[in-house]
Amino acid sequence: MASVVNDGVFIVLKRKNLWAPWRIGYIQGLADKNECFICKNVGTPQDDDKNFVLWRSKNCITVLNRFPYNNGHLLIAPARHIPDFGKATDEELLEMNKLIRDAQKALTLAIKPHGFNVGMNLGRCAGAGLPEHLHIHIVPRWNGDTNFVRTCSDTYLISQSLTELLTALKQTSAEHGLPAL
Ligand SMILES: [Zn+2]
């Protein structure tokens, strides 16, 4: 329990715990700085389901983010271990842009978002968890999806399991001629 005096008003804050045991994988992963999970995913096609790899295309890989900001959070990355657009070929740049289009289509069909955030964090100071390997975030958004839990405690509520989402997106991709493994 903590006490705070704010403008003469005495406030008692009672701590509550919100358990998120799945984050231990992320926290432990941070310790292993030498491993690039995108390169690991690229090199282990036999583990695609376990690694939540959605698509493999000529120069890129598209995976579900294991630690999503929102349901349906995808990562699109070149297969090559390059840090930014400056090192990408024209072919890779074009393919990544096509995959943004395809990801938006697949997610729209499968889980019907109202909008998207599409973007990159370049450099660790900009929030990149893996600054050495370029990747584009596709984050579906719904009206009203920012709620008090996220605002007050930096906690994200995800409404669907990664396994269920992967299955739905694979099925949608097959039905609509989108990329595959
Ligand atoms: Zn890499």
**28 found inside a domain:** no
Give residue 146 CA to ligand 1 midpoint distance, Å. 31
**170 found inside a domain:** yes
Residue 103 pLDDT:
98
144: helix, coil or strand? coil
Q: pLDDT tens, 104-139?
A: 999 999 999 999 999 999 988 888 889 999 999 999
As for how many domains the chain has, the answer is 1
**pLDDT exceeds cutoff 70 at 152:** no
Distance from chain centroid for Cα 174: 22
Residue 128 pLDDT:
87
**pLDDT exceeds cutoff 90 at 146:** no
Give residue 48 CA to ligand 1 midpoint distance, Å. 16
- Over pLDDT 70: what percentage of the chain? 76
Domain CATH number, residue 58: 3.30.428.10
**48 found inside a domain:** yes
**125 found inside a domain:** yes
Give residue 126 CA to ligand 1 midpoint distance, Å. 18
**121 found inside a domain:** yes
pTM value is 0.78
Give residue 89 CA to ligand 1 midpoint distance, Å. 16
**64 found inside a domain:** yes
CA 158 – CA 161 distance, rounded (Å): 8
Return the beta strands (E) in 9-166 as ranges. 9-13, 53-56, 60-64, 74-78, 115-119, 136-141
Residue 158 pLDDT:
79
**139 found inside a domain:** yes
119: helix, coil or strand? strand
For residue 133, indicate whether it is catalytic.
no
Identify the CA nearest to 53 among candidates 79, 21, 89: 79
CA 21 – CA 30 distance, rounded (Å): 15
**4 found inside a domain:** no
Return the beta strands (E) in the chain as ranges. 2-6, 9-13, 53-56, 60-64, 74-78, 115-119, 136-141
Catalytic residue among 81, 114, 133, 135: 135
Q: Which domain holds residue 94?
A: 36-175
